Amino acid sequence: MTYSEDGDTVRLEMTRDEYNGVLLMLGRLAGSESRNGDKQLFWEAIAFVNRLNRTNPNFTQYEIPEEFR
């Protein structure tokens, strides 16, 4: 995995396996917070996954309830 900066933009380059690991960790975070009753952190994690995949044509965005946007 590599990290680079260009002004205010940060770029992470990783393998597909590393990317899948990141998604898995975010899913575990969201699931844990859901079980703990922290709806705000759950939806923040889901919103981050949406942003992370904003330009991914193979990803279907999650719908975030208005009160958590």
The pLDDT tens digits for 4-30 are 999 999 999 999 999 999 999 999 999
* Residue 46, in any domain of the structure: yes
* Residue 5, in any domain of the structure: no
* Residue 38, in any domain of the structure: yes
The confidence score (pLDDT) of residue 24 equals 97
Neighbours of 2 (CB within 10 A): 7
pLDDT, tens only, 42-56: 999 999 999 999 999
* Residue 4, in any domain of the structure: no
* Structural domain that includes position 39: 28-69
Pairing between β-strand 9-13 and β-strand 2-6 as defined by DSSP bridges: antiparallel
Beta bridge partners of 23: none
* Residue 50, in any domain of the structure: yes
Looking at the structure of the chain, the number of domains it has is 1
The confidence score (pLDDT) of residue 7 equals 97
Length of the chain equals 69
In the chain, the amino acid numbered 7 is: G
* Residue 16, in any domain of the structure: no
